[in-house]
Amino acid sequence: MLTDQVVAAIKTMVGPEHVLTREEDRWCYAYDATDLARLPDLVVFPGSAEEIAQIVAWANLYGFPVVPRGAGTGRAGGAVAVAGGVVLVLTRLNRILEIDVQDFVAVVEPGVVTGHLKKAAEAAGLFYPPDPGSADYCTIGGNVAAGAGGAMAVQYGVTRDYVLGLQVVLPTGQVIDTGTRTMKGVVGYDLTHLLLGSEGTLGVITRIVLRLVPLPAAKETLAAGFAGLSPAARAVGAILRAGLSPAALEFMDRATLDCMREALPVAAPADTAAVLLMAVHGHPADVRQRALKMMELCRDYGANAVLHAADPGDAARLWQARRSISPATFKVRPDKIGEDVAVPLGAIPRLVSGVEEISRRLGLPILCFGHAGDGNIHVNIMYDRRLPAEREAAPRAVEELFRLVRDLAGTLSGEHGVGVLKAPYVGMELSEAAIDLQRRLKRTFDPNNIMNPGKMFPGGG
Ligand SMILES: Cc1cc2nc3c(=O)[nH]c(=O)nc-3n(C[C@H](O)[C@H](O)[C@H](O)COP(=O)(O)OP(=O)(O)OC[C@H]3O[C@@H](n4cnc5c(N)ncnc54)[C@H](O)[C@@H]3O)c2cc1C
């Protein structure tokens, strides 16, 4: 239990100025980017792995939950203290410790904002490709813990593909290092990748060794509008099959386009039902050729408008419009359930038409957009909780969506994770035996269930 004596001890460990006890202060750390909220008993901003290890050791001894938190931009409720306890905010651990241009490696603390690392790598002539839409404010620690993706995954992969090693405070208070600083390494079980995407349930990540790649010499941005969804989906397949290796290949349906029209640098034709937004990275001559070929393919597949960003400013405006989608969706309804399902590439048209069918049947607007190049589509179920019919229909839409995704051999989450929101549905994707094995792994790491309890597993366990 979190007694006055324990709170006093934590204040001594980290300094009283790094502990929030007043209710109005603690409410600021009760939320993430879902509509869940739960008031934590204490909010602590530790300054080192040693302090974290001490707090976690006390949690084990006195039996209170510890919830690691980065920037709180998660979309699954992972950083919400559903069982109370201490929220451990990692934003003071925000140093980029090293960028080594010889080794192509960065060593960072977990509270580094992802966009800051991207800029620091670029200043050294290197590139850290993962780019969640929240990169300007989310943390690397949150990206690693959530298994974050982003638009550039088509060419470069996701956060998981860049993590070489970790320092982790285990739920028992022990500190371990996993992985290597080398590009290869197969000694022992791959604990690094077990901790990746573990959503703060297996330990607190306190240092991260990341792989960097050379900075692409040239980048181009293209957009194409289509009068129907299926020609756009067929164009995606054709671009990928032609080996044109887009860095990003994003998709927006008509309802999404309607939300973001004002943010677009050029007007889209009125009959546009789907838009593809694409980036190409590489050597200058090759990039131009691939971009021209992609424009040609889009026209061949029936694009009614094709735009080639003339300069970096135009390109930035197009990507800014893409980033504006998430807040713009609230023009449609005041509430939303944002899912991030992924399906095999060939199944995207069936996913989108299936979602249209669910939307029609349940009478709810549902917006589809996202990473068509890797089959990860954001399905935003919009509703108004003040209307009983919509309030009841929204969770039904989630269940029907997940059933559709399962039938298409897809996954419930491509990048946001399970957290609290998807925990009840995990059994739709994982077998009982697989869930049981994961529960036993959790118990091995965390025998007293103090590390971010109530997440990941059906029934909250
Ligand atoms: C507008 C918007 C756009 C987004 N776009 C994308 C996108 O394109 N791709 C994508 O993948 N996600 C996206 N997200 C979701 C979110 O930004 C990511 O999941 C991100 O990785 C969360 O980082 P965070 O620092 O906010 O973590 P938090 O929300 O604070 O935490 C997320 C999870 O990680 C755990 N955690 C955090 N830090 C640590 C640590 N040091 N050690 C152990 N566990 C830890 C928490 O307990 C929690 O379970 C978006 C969110 C928003 C609001």
Instruction: Read off the pLDDT of residues 277-309 as tens digits, 9 standing for 90 and up.
Output: 999 999 998 999 999 999 999 999 999 999 999
Class of domain 332-417: alpha beta
> Please, where in the chain does CATH 3.30.43.10 lie?
4-91
Fold of domain 96-214: 3.30.465
To test the ligand 1 pocket, which listed residue (134, 336, 377, 446) has its Cβ within 8 A of the most ligand atoms? 134
Return the percentage of the chain with pLDDT > 90, whole number.
Answer: 91
Total Cβ atoms within 10 A of residue 417? 25
Report residue 460's pLDDT band, with 50, 70 and 90 as the boundaries: low
Please state which CATH number belongs to domain 4-91: 3.30.43.10
Helix (H) or strand (E) holding 17: none
Locate the ligand 1 atom nearest the alpha carbon of residue 414 and give its number.
11
**Cβ(362)–Cβ(396) below 8 Å:** yes
* Ligand 1 centroid, distance to 28 Cα (angstroms): 17
Report residue 461's pLDDT band, with 50, 70 and 90 as the boundaries: low
CA diameter of the chain: 71
Burial tier of 404 (Cβ tally within 10 Å: 0-12, 13-18, 19+): buried
Look at the pTM and tell me if it is higher than 0.75: yes
* Ligand 1 centroid, distance to 125 Cα (angstroms): 27
Cα 126 from chain centroid (whole Å): 23
> Please, where in the chain does CATH 3.30.70.2190 lie?
218-326
SS3 state at 253? strand
**Cβ(363)–Cβ(244) below 8 Å:** no
Locate the ligand 1 atom nearest the alpha carbon of residue 131 and give its number.
8
Rounded to an integer, what distance in angstroms lies between the CA atom of residue 425 and that of residue 441?
20
Q: Which two structure tokens, joined as six digits, stand for 20? A: 């929030």
Q: What is the pLDDT of residue 285?
A: 86
Fold of domain 218-326: Alpha-Beta Plaits (3.30.70)
> Please, where in the chain does CATH 3.30.70.2740 lie?
332-417
Name the residue among 146, 220, 149, 215 with its Cα closest to residue 374.
149
* Ligand 1 centroid, distance to 287 Cα (angstroms): 32
Give helix then strand counts, H and E, for the chain.
15, 18
SS3 state at 114? helix
Characterize the bridge pairing of strands 19-20 and 42-44.
antiparallel
Q: Does the beta carbon of 113 sit less than 6 angstroms from any atom of ligand 1? A: no
